[in-house]
Chains A and B, each alone.
Chain A
């Protein structure tokens, strides 16, 4: 039985959208903003329909083709190569134009520099070789590549490149320039010649001009070189400000690039420039023109290179290269008129975004919505089949993963195994609140299932009242088949939370997921969602030790809130915790705001600003609040552990008074040695209230924390201006393992150096019942979780339940149904005003496989896992993080009980 067929005038929509149809169509110049373009584009979004039969939504008849398969094999075999092209071109431009001597970099300065890079970088149409590591050997060996991608160009000149951003944190790699090929984990290839260029020219130029040291100088003030605020940051155990690393964590707006082409965008900028009042604004529009021109020049150089290669190519490769040349001469300069052109436009704009901004959480938004009009039109006109569409998407997914972050070796301990966290969002509702799932949603799900890549990080939106059961079961099925993706987001809860923060209903309904899990109004909300990572357990630690932290010894860090042994009530203790927490939040915000000011002075973003709603209309760069919507995001680490500590103190010390402060502090000092019975009791949800068990005391403490954090950050001042505030999210990447290593024993029974729990997930091993866990997490009010959550759940794979191969298909089907039931229940809420759980993500791998992967990593190069937000390859993670994933509570979906529960 077919789903509801497309009856909307797709062809007409595209005609209206682009002004002309067919390959070679030229730009449509029109007053599109808020008028014709917007209306036609919105019409495109609103026409979501499904033509695939309900029983065929998996598209499992579509297989990976030979070229893609080979490229996938090469992708996994290749080691990342450090690419100095961008860093050297940028440095050369800055040196030649005296920019290192300037005390401000304008948007126009920056745009000219980026255009210089785009114009002068090597146009790579076919990557012919890379490098790979051979186990047990020093260095790397050459790897021949068979690149057949329909998408020319790459973020670096390498097939899998480490992009260097010397203005951000690339200089942290300096000590490793001669040794990074032989790192124990995640080695990078770097030639001796390139290392010399970095050491002698590139890095020295930025030694005083990188964002981190410019910020430090600002914090120090005149004549000073030391600051308590920076010390607090440098201790790492309290908070991290990511503005030293990126602006990122946002979603560009590709609609204009698709709809009118970059030439149309340039024309609009010229029109605005002619009417602009001041020189600064005129320069800003000129910056937009420079940036877009640079992208066009780059696409033309790729077209020329493809045409050159085609001369000596044969057969299908000759045809393919000629087609690439034709497409790249047309887009992104002109409106995209086919699905492939649309993908190409996005790909080239994406490259440009990464040449301007570091590869940290830049995300692509709702690609199934953006590209659906082109897909539909192509399919209806017989120019495209779902099979070919899946193939194209597979190629694009491979391209998106063509770069990795430049993390120094021990940075792996905090952020080990991370990719660039390029989120893509599928499904959900449209701006009218209706189901937006379409055929392209299923095409992209199938491509994801076939490729099983770390990047892009796939996220699916689900609306409890609007999304279909078939769609839910399909995204569960993809999780079962990939073991870890996509993550699932509850439209009802998220849209409500965003509206409470000021987004209009239409803006909120058009949210996309950024980086790990953070919802952002796509293309119009500059939310910098990963601006601050805050270790909440440090606030608790300072509460226990009257403003001191065991990691920093005798230093008085936070305010003196008193000796807890003298507190006479739990509320007194909680109040001291609140004082410490609010103080810590203020410090983090202060430093972030100073760093934001440095961004405004030295890192304007003309390319991203052009590809965004707001800056064109306002004539203002994103870093100065040019976006439609503005905010910064904080990610909280140690949420569940801290909540459980509060509950343990409330119940044991002040409730039944079975524990004295003296004993508790002595137990913490001794890491529970000699207090093993107490530790067991504190870890046992039957004896001590634990978040994640529908225990009202525990869940109230969790809710208290969420409300307090939302309140403090929600009223904190913001560097981009009045009325802009911070939002709070609960996702931790791998930081919960890294911060755990810095933290000693805590009152919830957690021992020295043990991992914290990821995201908003309850503490591992302490939640025996699945239903209670889901309900408990869903009970944290979603209005306080506006920057997203990562709720990690591990389900036993169906394969582990099959005995002797019997009834495998039935067991698999039953698991997917139960899986979907669990998600639907979690998202449903309790009907008493709750909007349901916000987000949930999965690992569908059992301990046996994880242990085997630890022992035989070469067998599991593509074993995908959810960390806390992003996906990673299990074997890339450091041992502590691997063990954290293994130790997560695993549930049997048929019994709804934890299979690893030992208490």
Chain B
């Protein structure tokens, strides 16, 4: 598979879940982007988490949780809750989380204003996660209008 095809594959997998399973798609995309394939196809993207040590818990309105753990320049994702999170993001719908992280003309504050997303723990970490998400989407040309 060529590099272009591999990128398209990542893009498709994220876009397929962009509406109803946004977080799953994003996590999957990040998993690939921070992995060996991403090293080749998205040079520099991995620098975003160099030396970064943080645990994120995402909890949807339906109670389903997933987590993202950054450590030693790597990212791992898990379904289900973790207890020792640094930042917890609670969101009403996948669309609310997507807007919270990616919306073109808005930012995180705007989603909080709409009371669809709440953050506990460290707030600055979610700004960093927002940057990483946008950077990935920008590199893939997704959802940035």
Question: Which chain A residues have a beta carbon within 8 Å of chain B's beta carbons?
Answer: 171-179, 183-184, 199-200, 203-204, 206-208, 210, 212-213, 216, 220, 225-226, 230-231, 234-237, 408-411, 413-414, 551-552, 738, 741-742
Contacts and interface: CB of A to CB of B under 8 A. Distances in A.
B112 A236 contact: yes
B134 interface: yes
Contacts of A741: 113
Interface residues on B, range: 35 or more
16 contacts: A174-B128, A177-B131, A178-B138, A179-B104, A183-B105, A199-B131, A203-B128, A208-B124, A213-B123, A230-B120, A234-B118, A408-B109, A409-B110, A410-B106, A551-B115, A738-B113
Contacts of A208: 122, 124
B86 to A, nearest CB: 8
B124 A212 contact: yes
B25 to A, nearest CB: 18
A409 B105 contact: yes
B107 A408 contact: yes
B51 A231 contact: no
A209 to B, nearest CB: 9
Interface string B74-88: 000000000001101
Interface in B104-145: 104-110, 112-113, 115, 118-125, 127-128, 130-131, 133-135, 138, 144
Interface string B50-92: 1110000000000000000000000000000000011010000
B124 A213 contact: yes
Contacts of B120: 225-226, 230
B18 to A, nearest CB: 18
Contact of A200 (B50, B108, B112): B50
B127 A174 contact: yes
Given A183-B105, A236-B112, A742-B113, A204 B51 contact: yes
B8 interface: no
Given A175-B131, A410-B110, A210 B85 contact: no
Interface centre among B51, B109, B121 (most CB of A within 10 A): B109
Contact of B119 (A171, A172, A234, A237): A234
B124 A210 contact: yes
Given A226-B120, A234-B119, A413 B105 contact: no
Nearest to B103: A410
A175 B48 CA distance: 12
A222 to B, nearest CB: 14
A175 B88 contact: no
Given A213-B124, A225-B121, A199 B48 contact: yes
B109 A172 contact: yes
A409 B106 contact: yes
A200 B128 CA distance: 11
B20 interface: no
B123 A225 contact: no
A515 to B, nearest CB: 21
Contact of B108 (A172, A178, A199, A231): A172
A408 B88 CA distance: 22
A413 B108 CA distance: 12
A756 to B, nearest CB: 15
Contacts of B110: 409-410, 413
Contacts of A237: 115
A552 B124 contact: no
A859 B113 CA distance: 33
Interface centre among B106, B115, B124, B128 (most CB of A within 10 A): B124
B9 interface: no
A551 B125 CA distance: 26
Nearest to B105: A184
A207 B108 contact: no
A409 B113 CA distance: 13
Interface of B: 47-48, 50-52, 85-86, 88, 101, 104-110, 112-113, 115, 118-125, 127-128, 130-131, 133-135, 138, 144
A175 B127 contact: yes
B113 A413 contact: yes
A273 to B, nearest CB: 37
Contacts of A175: 101, 107-108, 127, 130-131, 133-134
Given A207-B128, A413-B113, A225 B88 contact: yes
Nearest to A230: B120
Contact of B107 (A410, A552, A742): A410
A234 B122 contact: no
A231 B109 contact: no
Nearest to A236: B113
A798 B59 CA distance: 59
A178 B112 contact: no
A58 to B, nearest CB: 44
Contacts of A207: 122, 124-125, 128
A234 B128 CA distance: 18
A881 B105 CA distance: 17
Nearest to A179: B134
A203 B132 CA distance: 13
Nearest to B125: A207
A773 B120 CA distance: 45
Contact of A216 (B50, B85, B122): B122
A520 B121 CA distance: 36
B135 to A, nearest CB: 7
Given A174-B127, A179-B138, A236-B112, 17 more contacts: A172-B108, A174-B124, A176-B107, A177-B131, A178-B138, A200-B47, A203-B127, A204-B52, A207-B124, A207-B128, A210-B124, A212-B123, A213-B124, A216-B121, A410-B108, A411-B109, A413-B113
Contacts of B47: 200
A174 B130 contact: yes
A237 B118 CA distance: 13
Interface centre among B50, B85, B104, B138 (most CB of A within 10 A): B104
B122 A552 contact: no
Contacts of A216: 121-123
Given A204-B51, A413-B113, A172 B127 contact: yes
B24 to A, nearest CB: 21
A231 B107 contact: no
B107 A178 contact: no
Nearest to A216: B123
A410 B113 contact: yes
Contacts of A179: 104, 134, 138, 144
A212 B125 CA distance: 12
B135 A213 contact: no
Nearest to A174: B127
Given A236-B112, A408-B109, A410-B106, A206 B124 contact: yes
Interface centre among A171, A175, A207, A552 (most CB of B within 10 A): A175
A115 B60 CA distance: 48
Nearest to B49: A204
A210 B135 CA distance: 23
A666 B35 CA distance: 56
A621 to B, nearest CB: 26
A236 B110 CA distance: 11
Contacts of B105: 183-184, 409
A477 B133 CA distance: 53
Contacts of A236: 112-113
The 6 closest A-B pairs by CB, nearest first: A175-B130, A410-B110, A174-B127, A225-B121, A226-B120, A171-B124
B131 A234 contact: no
Contacts of A174: 124, 127-128, 130-131
Contacts of A206: 124
Nearest to B85: A225
A199 B49 CA distance: 10
Nearest to B128: A174
A206 B123 CA distance: 12
Contacts of A171: 124, 127-128
Contacts of A172: 107-109, 127
A231 B105 CA distance: 25
A413 B85 CA distance: 31
Nearest to B44: A196
Given A175-B134, A184-B105, A408-B109, A235 B115 contact: yes
